[in-house]
């Protein structure tokens, strides 16, 4: 019990720069990572928007820059923010569900984010960014963790109910990869209803 109190005290005194340094040294799931550990994230004490995606792809792993790929280009278009604003840690935090590239399925497609990452780091990171006004939940993994039983049975239901979640500071979206193209064609309401509100919210806080 004394050890737990000491650990809690240490976490309370932990600064965000110290915490980020700890995250970048993380080796929790090293044995499962085909390219080795390289945690990729962005955070700042004054950030007002947090974007929680899935996990880095190979290009992001290579560059060490979050969302530095075609999915990031589409996400920035959804937000209507330029790269300079997007990579300003004093305004936007980029904290995926998994900070390292998880590998691929044998038949293609990236594996899910490692399960160790978010429980180990997310709560501590969010506690040190008290100005977060909106959290964008990009994809089903982030929605499952942060919305819990409040999410719909499908991603479509969850995103369609975005106004309910927005009242609690969350806004769910699909992942902006090429794989969502068919979904976007079937669900035109996303671009007609969700994106305008997302852009209004982002412009208001940034």
Residue 162: name the closest of 198, 204, 205 by CA: 198
Q: How many domains does the chain have?
A: 1
Structure tokens at 5: 């109190």
Residue 198's pLDDT is 98
What is the predicted pLDDT for the residue at 12? 66
Q: What is the CATH number of the domain that holds 143?
A: 3.40.470.10
Question: By residue range, what is the domain housing residue 60?
Answer: 2-205
Enter the tokens of residue 83. Answer: 């790269």
- Rounded Cα distance between 133 and 82, Å, is 20
Predicted local distance difference test score (pLDDT) of residue 110: 87
- At CB < 8 A and 24+ separation, what contacts does 57-62 make? 57/101, 57/110, 58/101, 60/101, 61/35, 61/100, 61/101
**For every one of its 206 residues, what pLDDT tens digit does the chain have, with 9 covering 90 and above?**
333 333 444 456 889 999 999 999 999 999 999 999 999 999 999 999 999 999 999 999 999 999 999 999 999 999 999 999 999 999 999 999 999 999 988 887 889 999 999 999 999 999 999 999 999 999 999 999 999 999 999 999 999 999 999 999 999 999 999 999 999 999 999 999 999 999 999 999 99
* Alpha helices by DSSP H, 68-194: 70-79, 83-86, 117-127, 140-147, 155-160, 162-166, 181-186, 189
Angle at 46 between CA 11 and CA 16, to 5 degrees: 25
Residue 3: predicted pLDDT: 30
């Amino acid at each position: 019990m004394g050890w737990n109190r000491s650990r809690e005290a240490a976490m309370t005194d932990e600064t965000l720069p110290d915490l980020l340094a700890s995250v970048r040294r993380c080796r929790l799931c090293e044995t499962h990572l085909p390219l080795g550990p390289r945690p990729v994230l962005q955070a700042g004490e004054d950030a007002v928007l947090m974007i929680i995606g899935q996990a880095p792809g190979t290009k992001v792993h290579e560059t060490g820059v979050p969302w530095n790929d075609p999915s990031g280009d589409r996400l920035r278009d959804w937000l209507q923010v330029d790269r300079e604003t997007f990579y300003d840690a004093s305004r936007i935090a980029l904290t995926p569900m998994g900070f390292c590239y998880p590998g691929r399925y044998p038949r293609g497609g990236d594996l899910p984010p490692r399960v160790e990452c978010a429980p180990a780091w997310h709560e501590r990171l969010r506690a040190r960014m008290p100005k977060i006004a909106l959290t964008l939940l990009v994809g089903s993994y982030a929605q499952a963790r942060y919305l819990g039983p409040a999410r719909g049975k499908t991603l479509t239901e969850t995103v369609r109910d975005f106004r309910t979640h927005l009242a609690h500071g969350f806004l769910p979206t699909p992942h902006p990869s090429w794989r969502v193209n068919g979904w976007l064609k079937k669900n035109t309401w996303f671009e007609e209803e969700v994106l305008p509100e997302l852009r209004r919210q982002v412009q208001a806080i940034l």
